[in-house]
Structure 1
């Protein structure tokens, strides 16, 4: 079972692949597309959940998504067809960093996907290339709520604390116009749901050749969360505008 298959099973009951509940997603999108007729681009869209929600809410909105997973894009296309928004959604199978378009976009999304560009600031640099004047970026990034242990830092990567993260964004030429720090409930719900969904699949399919691997992965990830980073790691979502166009 590869990483993509594990992720699909783990997110079966939490299609937003970040520690955000439905109300937080709704409010972030409200701030990201205040008119409702914007052109939206998601760099690392996965199964397109952010785009599908925006398209379903705003009948004049058009969206494009970029991802390296053919299966996720197929799922996004099928769901768009079911929702009746397929004609307003374009999907591109390639690396987010390789995407080019003659059009600019009013909202650029990259929530929980900054690894595709090598970090927060490189992601903002990529977003700037696609952003229309006066447009917005909705970005989601991890941060350290307190000094991480060496094990946590090696496991999750190079993050700053929340204040430093915002300082870096502002120094890079962006102004936050809205933000949301994921609550403890959102963070915990995400972990419980992901690894619980993966474990449930394994227990429901005991004869599947990947069942043992799936259950072991769910157990290991839950253990890492509880023992290594639960009290150290947080997640912030920001709606940004360029300080000067």
Structure 2
């Protein structure tokens, strides 16, 4: 099984691929889309879950999504058609960091996808290129809630603490106008759901040649979460505006 297959199975019961519940997603979109008729760009949109939720509740909204996964984009197209919003959604299959457009966007979002750009600040630099004057960025990034072990850093990456993360954003010319730090319940629900859903698929499909691999992976990932990073890693989403356009 490749990484994309694993992710699709594991996220079947948690389509937002970040530790956020539905209410948190709704509040972030409300803060990021104050007028309801914005043009939105999602850099690393996956299956378009954020865009689909925004389009479904804002009939004047238009959106573009960028991702390298044809399977994910196919899911987004089908879901958009089922919701009746396909005419307001344009999807692009390419590297998000390489995306170029003659249009500017009122909201650029990238939640849980900063690895595609090489980190938080490179993601913001890319977002800035697409942002209309007075526009907003919705960014989601991990941070260390307390000093991590060497094993945790090797596993998840070289994050900073929350205050330093915000300091870096501000020093880069951005002003946070809203934020949400994932709660312990959101973090735990996310991990329990991912690895429980993957394990359930394996148990429900014992004859599938990928079943044993999926079950072993779910067991390993659950143990890594519980033993290595559960008590140290956090996740923050911020709505940002440029301090000076």
Alignment TM-score, normalising by the size of structure 1: 1.00
- 2:129 maps to 1:129: yes
Structure 1 Cα separation of the partners of residues 65 and 198 of structure 2? 26
**Runs of 4+ with >6 A deviation:** none
Structure 2 Cα separation of the partners of residues 109 and 173 of structure 1? 17
What pairs up with 1:139-178 in 2 under 5 angstroms? 139-178=139-178
* 1:67-101 Cα deviation digits (max 9, x unpaired): 01000000000000000000000000000011000
Structure 2 Cα separation of the partners of residues 107 and 213 of structure 1? 40
- 2:237 maps to 1:237: yes
* 1:186-228 Cα deviation digits (max 9, x unpaired): 0000000000000000000000000001001100000000000
* Aligned-partner SS, 1:42: strand
Report deviation, 1:132.
0.2
* Aligned-partner SS, 1:126: helix
* Aligned-partner SS, 1:155: helix
1:53 corresponds to? 53
2:9 corresponds to? 9
2:200 corresponds to? 200
* Aligned-partner SS, 1:64: strand
Structure 1 Cα separation of the partners of residues 105 and 221 of structure 2? 37
Report deviation, 1:179.
0.1
Structure 1 Cα separation of the partners of residues 158 and 70 of structure 2? 29
Structure 2 Cα separation of the partners of residues 150 and 237 of structure 1? 25
* Aligned-partner SS, 1:148: coil
1:226 corresponds to? 226
Structure 2 Cα separation of the partners of residues 220 and 68 of structure 1? 27
Alpha-carbon RMSD across the aligned residues, in angstroms, is 0.3
Equivalenced residue count is: 245
Structure 2 Cα separation of the partners of residues 94 and 209 of structure 1? 31
* Aligned-partner SS, 2:244: coil
* Aligned-partner SS, 2:64: strand
Q: Unmatched 5+ residue regions in structure 1? A: none
* Aligned-partner SS, 2:126: helix
Report deviation, 1:2.
0.3
* 1:168-188 Cα deviation digits (max 9, x unpaired): 000000000000000000000
Structure 1 Cα separation of the partners of residues 24 and 207 of structure 2? 39
Alignment TM-score, normalising by the size of structure 2: 1.00
- 2:134 maps to 1:106: no
Report deviation, 1:61.
0.2
* Aligned-partner SS, 1:160: coil
* 1:43-66 Cα deviation digits (max 9, x unpaired): 000000000000001000000000
Structure 1 Cα separation of the partners of residues 18 and 91 of structure 2? 21
Structure 1 Cα separation of the partners of residues 66 and 116 of structure 2? 11
